[in-house]
Structures are given as C-alpha cells and as structure tokens.
Structure 1
Amino acid sequence: MESITKNRQSAAALRAMVARAYGPDEVCDGEDWAGELGNGCFNVVYRIRLRSGTQAVLKIAPPPDVEVLTYERGAMATELAALRLVREHTKVPVPEVEFADRSQEVCDAAYFFMSYVDGDDLHTLRDTLTDAEKEAYDERLGAITRELNSIPGPAFGPLTGPGTRTWRPAFLRMVDELLRDGERRGIALPCGYDLIRGLVAAHADALDEVTEPRFVEWDLWSGNCMVRDGRVVAIVDHERAFYGDPLMEFGFAGCESSAFGDSTAFLRGYGHPPLTEPERIRRRLYNLHLALVLCIETTYRAYSDDGHYDWACGHLRETVALLGG
C-alpha cells in the first residue's frame, strides 16, 4: 500500500549507502541492481545486489518532515533492538543486521542493511494452500509467538525505554497516545473519543492480572512470515515490538473478532487454553487498541484508498459494542 512514510532515495544516495556499508568495491554500475520491495506500509525497503553477487535488503526510516504516530517515533531503533533480542534469546529465524547508520550523513533518515531472505510471504501464498496447510502454518506461528514471548523484559513499555513497573499504566498510555494522535489531526472515529476513554477506564482492572513484562512482537501476521518449501524461514518487520502482555499478540485477535480469522490453530500451536473471562476482556481492549491504530494511521500515511479506513472503523464499532459501548 502506498504511504507518504516511504522514504524513497535516488540511485546516487543508494550507492552511497551501499559504499558506506560494504565498501566502494561492492557498489554496482548499470541497471537492475536495486529494486523496491512493495509489501510494507511504513518503511521503504529495497532489494540490493552487490557487485560480488550477494543480495541484501535495505530498510530506510520515514522522512524527517513526515509526521508519524507517537508510537512510531524511533521505530527503526526498536526494530534493531528487537532483532538483537530475538537472535540472542530464541531460535526464531530472523534476518541478520549487516550494517546500521543513524548519522543522516548520506541519507536524511536512519537506515540499515540486513541479510536477504529467499522466500515468499505467507499472506501472498494463503489462497494457494489447502486448509490443512493453512492450519499447519498457523500452528507454527503460534509456537513461534510463544518462543518470542519467552523473552523477559525489564519493564512494561518500549524496548528502548522508558518503561513502567506495572502493565496498566503502560497500556493506558499506549491508548491515550493514539487518541491524542487522532485528536491532533481531527480524525473522525465512528465512536466518540470520550466514549473510548471511558470504556478503557471501566475495564482497566483486567490489566492488573499481567505482572511479568514479556517481549511482544505484536505485528506477527502472515504478511510478516517468510516461507519456503513448506517451512518458515524468517519473521520480518519488528519495529512495533514492545514489552507487555503476550495476549496482545496478533495471533490472539481472532479469539474476540472474526475479522482477524480463526485463532484455533494458533492457540493449539501456542499451547494456550481457551481464554478466561479476564483474558477475554483484555483481548477486547487489545482489539480496541488495534482498531484505533488501523483507523488513525490512514490519515498519517495519507492512504489514497478509503477501504482500509472503512474496514477499520467497522472493527472499531464491533469491539466497542463488545465492551458495552
């Protein structure tokens, strides 16, 4: 999807970045050595061929003059931290960071190079899979998510800090930041801002059940799962990770909304029993947060198609109703 946050660079700038990362001898001449990978909606991502024939992936942060959502500020630093944590503490396959530069000397934003992963994203392939194959992948995503959630955190909140000792204030801040982002740009929501704040406050006691901060990938859906020959070969796009409640993972969203599919196979792979009543309340709160993100980001990214916004608003109405609004 097209977004104004995609910070496309000239061929000369890309060559300068390659030279800084790998040395001038690896800079290619001619054509077809760099091509944009178009699946992402936030950062621009390029597939780069080096002179040696090796391929790499270049990811560039948004332009400095483009306003992003509050939680998206410093997203590249978050992704670099997440990649390091996943590599150090799990066996979940992720790309290797080969070079990172935040100096803004050859580009107007931070960027990093990572290893190229030969595979297809699972979302693109889903329509070609049998039901049994889809379930097997969803089970595998459940197991991968549980492994990611095994990483302990020092506090609740951003990977790069600062954090809070308890989960309730951390989550309430996440929701409040989104609502302030929406109000600042005058974004219309199908439910009033004050109504949403009231609903979250009324159900906030359920958050106190969460006492241990854990690594939460949050954006682990099929589009960020790379597969090849029936295997998961990499999980990509980690810029939304934080320390929080594992129940906030995307794979659990279908437990309280059919809009995100069926979570049965995911739960089986994760090894999670059916949700308790407090867990269902928390998951509804997390679906509310997810719906707010999906609604509000459409304005910040200047999507040309209203379909994404309309779908997200429908999900927001559904979740508000489940919470008694």
Structure 2
Amino acid sequence: MDFRSIPRAPHAFQQPVTAEDIQAIARRAFGDAAHVASAVELGGGMYNTTYRITVDCLQGPVILRIAPAPGQQFSSERELMRNEYVTVPYLSPLAGLVPRVLFADWSQEITGRDWMVQSHLTGVPAPECLGIYPRDLWPGFFAQLGEITARVHAVRGSHFGPVAGPGHRSWSVAVIASLNAIADDLERLGLDASDVHKVADLAGEHHHVLDEITEPQLLTGDLWTVNTMLDPDASKPVITGVLDLDRTLFGDPAADWTIRMACAKQDERTAFWDTYGPRDTSSAATWRGLVYEARHLGAIRLERHRLHKDEGVRDTYTSMAAVLSRLAGRLA
C-alpha cells in the first residue's frame, strides 16, 4: 500500500490511523477480498482525519473520513459525523452536489473512532482555484452559494437543534442549550466562559424574541468557500460539490455560519443575497443576530484553543465584549 499521512505533532487534535487500520476498514466496507492500493491523507479540514483511498475492487478513489476519538470531542461538537449521516435524507435538494455515503461504522471496533466512506467528488477545492479567476467573476461564485444555501434552508424539520438530536421544543431552548454546552467546554479547558453564560442568561430572559422563530429550518452549519468544490476546466467559477455538512441543525436560517460569512464583508460576496433573498433587518432579527454571533464566537474560541492559537483565543474575548454591549444596549 502506498500510505501517506500528514506529519503531525503528538499533541495535535487530528491524528492519523495506521495502514493496517485502513486495510481493515476497506475489508469491512467492501468485502474480505478488498485490497487498498493507496491511502493519502488530505489536508484542508480541521476536524476529521480524511484519506483519499483507492481499492482494487473499485473503479475510482473514495473518501475515508475518520472522526476524532470520543475523548477528544467537545460536548458541543459530539458525534458530528453521526449528525451528518442522519442529515443525508434532508439533503435531497443537493443530491447532485453532496457525496454519497458508501459505508458508515460507529462500532469503533477497528480504530476506536467513528468512520465513514463516501464517494469522491469531482473538482478542485475552491480555496485552491477561486483565486485563479479574475475578481469580476467571483460574484458568480457567491451567487451560486446563495442559491445552494436557499435550497438547504427551504428544508423543514420537526424539532430545533442538531439534526441527530437532542431535539428541543423551541428555538430559545435549543440556542440556550448550545450556549451552555459551549460554556461547559470552555470551563473544562480552564478558560473563562462568563461572557458566554451572560449571553445565555440574556437569551433566557428574552426568550420570546428567539421564539418568534416557530418553524425549524435546516441550517448547513459550516458551508462556505472552504467546503465547496469547483470545476477546474470551467471558464468561470462553477460549484460542482459541497462537503462536510456535519454541523447541520434545525433552527433560524439567520443563525447559520453561511449567513455570518455572507455578512462579513461588503465585497463580491454581496452577490450571495441576489439569489438567496433579502435579509430580515427588523430590530428583533438584529437582536437575535447578536445572540447568534456570540454563539459563533464561543465556538471559534474553542476551535482556536484546539489549534493552539492563543492570540486568537484572546481576540474572542474582545469581540464578545462588544457583542454583549450591543445586546444590552438594544434591550435598554
């Protein structure tokens, strides 16, 4: 087997598996006679460990994604791969863009970790080739992203919260549960979570504003440039694939990471709104948006700690203080 792993420090969050593990996985997924010819670890993602593998009984490569060990996962990010698996039926509007699940195993018998084999998407990761195009063509990319996001947000669910659960009866309960889970994770790491607790308290005190959202809609959780594939031969950016939809949840579309990123700058990404549709700019929606921003900042703080980016962790406290000030000001 041609086995290639990315060198990582012993304390790194992402850790490889062995060539023997990958061979055992292939035999479980494709039969005892399956033989892995090559397994190449792919960079780019920051959570699961991902390999492109070729197996002699298959016509082309497939993608093997291996979740972090259970003990490494934050409670606010637990079993994300299983969440993605449960989400698959809801992604039918994107059936031509998302990878197909070929095999999934939650037994943890081989590696001590969850794993899933998916079809190999054609194309090139957008971060690698979007910059090749002239910037006057970039709005077309973001317009496609807006249309894809609108398709996802049109899907309805029966509860609020992660697709795989736990489900909640109201949006406010789901948001507060998410904030409390993030705060608990921060405290277990020895980080100050008082600002996240303050946001959770405000969300509880003014839950009626959150509960204006009465219909659970599907959120991508993490869709942006880094999770899209482009046609390398097209004369303009053309999205051919969407991947890593493991943070999906049901709730207010305005809480989606995709919406946060679409609002982040007044540049080519404003074309997103041409296809997605107009934003709600009411005072209630603005207040909810600040709560969602606090939730994002809490998750960012956890990720930056995981990546040993101490300065980035400190920056989140400054940003969170500004959000809290605006939240309190809008309630005055």
Structure-2-length-normalised TM-score: 0.86
Q: In the alignment, is the contact (CA less than 8 A) between 1:168 and 1:207 conserved in 2?
A: yes
Matching residue's letter, 1:39: G
Amino acid at match of 2:49: V
CA distance in 2, matches of 1:122, 1:246: 23
Task: Summarize the Cα distance change of 1:308–1:221 in structure 2 as closer, same or farther, 3 Å threshold.
Answer: farther
Deviations 1:132-191 (A, max 9, x none): 3221111111111110111110111121223122211111111111112112222136x7
Q: Can you list the C-alpha shifts for 1:221-252, whole angstroms capped at 9, x where unaligned? A: 11011111332111111111011111112232
Report the equivalent of 1:232: 239
Q: Which residue is equivalent to 2:152?
A: 148
Residue aligned with 2:302, SS: helix
The change in CA–CA distance for 1:321 and 1:226 in structure 2 (over 3 A counts) is farther
Q: How does 1:278-289 map to 2 (within 5 A)?
A: 278-289=284-295
| Aligned partners of 1:92 and 1:144 also within 8 Å | no
Q: Aligned pair in 2 of structure 1 residues 192, 280: CA closer, same or farther (>3 Å)?
A: closer
Distance 2:181 2:188 in 1: 10
SS of 1:35's partner is: strand
Pick from 202, 214, 217 the counterpart of residue 220 of structure 2. Answer: 217
Corresponding residue for residue 20 of structure 2: 12
Which of 293, 300, 303 is matched with 2:299 structurally?
293
The residue type paired with residue 23 of structure 1 is G
SS of 2:70's partner is: coil
In 2: Cα distance, 1:255 partner to 1:36 partner: 30
Root-mean-square deviation over aligned CA pairs:
2.6
| Residue of 133, 145, 148 corresponding to 2:137 | 133
Structure 1 stretches of 4+ with a deviation exceeding 6 A read none
Name 2:43's counterpart in structure 1.
38
Could you tell me how far 1:49 is from its partner in structure 2? 1.2
Count of residues paired in the alignment: 316
Change in 2 beyond 3 A, CA 1:91/1:111:
closer
Q: Which runs of 5+ in 1 are unaligned?
A: none
**1:128 CA displacement:** 2.9
Gaps spanning 5+ residues in structure 2: where? 1-5
| Counterpart mapping for 1:1-325 below 5 A | 4-29=12-37, 33-51=38-56, 52-66=58-72, 68-87=73-92, 89-91=93-95, 93-188=97-192, 192-201=195-204, 203-228=206-231, 229=234, 230-254=237-261, 257-258=264-265, 264-273=270-279, 275-299=281-305, 301=306, 303-324=307-328
Please tell me whether the aligned partners of residues 252 and 283 of structure 1 are also in contact (alpha carbons under 8 angstroms).
no
CA shift digits 1:14-46 (9 cap, x unpaired): 0110111112443135xxx11111111111010
Residue 44 of structure 2 aligns with an amino acid whose one-letter code is: N
- CA deviations 1:256-309 (Å, max 9, x no partner) are 654x9775222222022452222222122111100110002333x3x2333543
Q: Are the counterparts in 1 of residues 14 and 48 from structure 2 also a CA contact under 8 Å?
A: yes
Aligned partner of residue 58 in structure 1, secondary structure:
strand
Letter in 2 for 1:157: G
**What residue identity is the alignment partner of 1:18?**
A
Cα distance in 1 for residues equivalent to 2:199 and 2:40: 42
SS at match of 1:76: helix
Task: Give the letter aligned to residue 172 of structure 1.
Answer: I
TM-score for the superposition, normalised by structure 1: 0.87
